[in-house]
Amino acid sequence: MESNVVVSPETVYKNLDQLDQVDMTTSAEYREMAQDVLADPQVNFDVREAIADRLNQANQQLATMTVSKTDSY
């Protein structure tokens, strides 16, 4: 599903802080938006770095919450 809605990097950053408060579909959309910002060389490096850090933290948190000993990769 391709979205034509342009979201500011600042909104993407804020959205990543709300991943635990939204449904899985919205969470995936927020993560995809973050990837789009990270791939955009026109976005300020410091902003991309902050988004990358927050996305990394969110991904680590997701992994610890959903992976159990019986899950396989």
Query: Rounded to the nearest 10 degrees, what angle do helices 45-66 and 24-38 cross at?
Result: 150
What is the pTM assigned to this prediction?
A: 0.79
pLDDT digits (tens, 9 = 90+) for 31-50: 999 999 999 999 999 999 99
With 50 as the cut, is the pLDDT of residue 12 above it?
Answer: yes
Structure tokens at 63: 């992994």
Q: Average pLDDT in the 65-72 region?
A: 65
With 90 as the cut, is the pLDDT of residue 28 above it?
Answer: yes
